[in-house]
Amino acid sequence: MEQLETRIIFREVQSFRNNFYLVSILYPALLTWYIGIHSFIFGKPSGVVNVSSPCLFVLWIIFGLFLPLVFYCTKYVTEVRDDGIYTRLAPLNRSFKKIPLYIVDECKIKVSDPLVEKESDISESPRKVSPVVILKLISGERMLIRSKKPEELCNAIELATAQY
């Protein structure tokens, strides 16, 4: 079956490389590297209870190699095409999640505070919180899409829904 080519109106790729994520991923990685070197190279037990070598090796593979590699490669991809809005967390999701344009009722840019779960206009924001694009669907549900360029994303969604 042939697939129709759809034109990409907007595409944004975001990476998760900020200091909070960096510290939360590198701390366990560096700790497992230290314990592994301390146990395998120097032959000394790591801590009060000596952990078996196979168990330590598995922990080193997971927290010392796999988790930092996944963190480094993870990207959030948002695309607005002629037939819908596509989002994907690569490489964890192999395919895009499609939001068809016919179910999008309204598109707005608001400020959303995840700690309080409150939405407000950008001008009414009491502290520095990043703006988000909020989609109101015809079913009454609301979807939040984070973007570094929310104005461009909202304009692309409005353009695509006008063409649809």
Band (pLDDT 50/70/90 cuts) for residue 1 is very low
Q: What is the pLDDT of residue 79?
A: 93
Read off the pTM. Answer: 0.76
CB 53 within 8 A of CB 36: no
pLDDT at 12 over 90: yes
Question: Which residues neighbour 6 within 8 Å (Cβ) at sequence distance 6 or greater?
Answer: 81, 82, 83
pLDDT tens digits for 104-131? Answer: 988 888 887 666 566 656 655 556 667 8
pLDDT tens digits for 39-63? Answer: 878 777 766 567 777 888 888 899 8
pLDDT at 97 over 70: yes
Sign, CA torsion 98/137/6/9: negative
Contacts 24+ apart (CB under 8 A), 16-22: 16/71, 16/74, 16/75, 16/76, 21/71
